[in-house]
Amino acid sequence: SQTIHQWPATLVQPVGSPLSLECTVEGTSNPNLYWYRQAAGRGLQLLFYSVGIGQISSEVPQNLSASRPQDRQFILSSKKLLLSDSGFYLCAWGGQGPGNIQYFGAGTRLSVL
């Protein structure tokens, strides 16, 4: 069966520090991969998605970047965090083709202070 791992669960970082969040998927090949962010009390905002290794689509201009160095690995990064980067970050994977389902990880709660 497929599983998605996302870590860390909680992170507190100072303003201006770098960020690296990692997500890995097991039990499937060539998945679509996604990074979402949810601000406190708000809905989910799609940040990046990837349909293959090295292929990244950015949805929102921001202080963040994403990379997919391996088929089942998706990394969210920042060189210098801003206060506005605080939020709940979620990784998800999905199949390819119409009618596919996205499955979400447990999320990382990031607080930038």
Partner 1 sequence: DAKTTQPPSMDCAEGRAANLPCNHSTISGNEYVYWYRQIHSQGPQYIIHGLKNNETNEMASLIITEDRKSSTLILPHATLRDTAVYYCIVDFGNEKLTFGTGTRLTIIP
- Residues forming the site for partner 1 (CB under 8 A): 32, 34, 36, 42-44, 46, 49, 51, 59, 88, 90, 92, 96-107, 109
Report in angstroms how near the CB of residue 112 gets to partner 1 at its nearest. 18
Report in angstroms how near the CB of residue 79 gets to partner 1 at its nearest. 25
Nearer to partner 1, 18 or 26 (CB): 26
Question: For residue 31, what are its two tokens?
Answer: 């998945």
Pure H helices in the chain: none
The Cα–Cα gap between 94 and 104 comes to 9
Report in angstroms how near the CB of residue 92 gets to partner 1 at its nearest. 8
Name the region of 54 (left: φ>0; alpha: ψ -120 to 50; beta: rest): left
